[in-house]
Chains A and B, each alone.
Chain A
């Protein structure tokens, strides 16, 4: 006990470490270790195409996770992002396919649908004061049904690469002389930087953290908490729409009725990245790193020939450790 009293140590007091955050450095270390581990065990994992695939499958989860980080920081949660992503992808794809509209319109529809969900959640959580878990559990189910109905209850295929409308598939990946360049990664990094600035350096972000830290105190400071609390859910909804575009660009078909469970991957990523389930603490960069841990496990474990169900067990254990670290951090205070 006595020895721990000394505040911090050489590592945590290092200015670089302080700036990036201890947790993020640890998570980054985990990512590097995992990558080395998988590369040693599986030659196929070392291939460039595998790296591209890991990126491919991480975009939509990353986007969902960036959005839900804001809801988590307010001390709430948004469970509707998983089915919301699928529903937005269905509705957007349906509009393109059935009315023969440019794919850009479909993408706008995705974002509009995500925002619609965000408004729905904002009203129930921030305005009416429902518990976020229950409110977004409800909208999660609504989104699941609504997407299916609006898309005519059949699976939806977005335009294929190579067709006139297929250009959107190269938003996240371009083909240069047979080599796939995962430019989506750059886009995601850019979004992370923008959202980090919004969270840490602007009033909306500051107030979202304040609400998660102590909502009543924030209100008494004369801040319009309904407005900024709502904004967190709108951001979550907006990113649900973006995630839908990434999903449609990566996968062959969007199947109605699916999507439940995707939100848990995103939330798990945010938690691993250091976002606190009790609100007030969290970073967008940390979330991205957390998602990468999840993606690496998902993509890497099959490569080393691990039985499918072991993948789930290991991912679950990693999540438990992350939550445990979160609790340790809180009890120390």
Chain B
């Protein structure tokens, strides 16, 4: 059903799966950083959500830049 060539074409996509390891790290970093800036649970969660979102955006931007550089190389 799947030839070796087809599987090889998907290899870069499988490599991207390592990005899943960033998710628990983003959650942990955003929660701890937010908790060191507030004392109540509501503001902590609110800050953590926004902070986690911006970390993800930043990582996505860096990944896009690296992908672009790899294409141009």
Whether A associates with B in a native complex is no
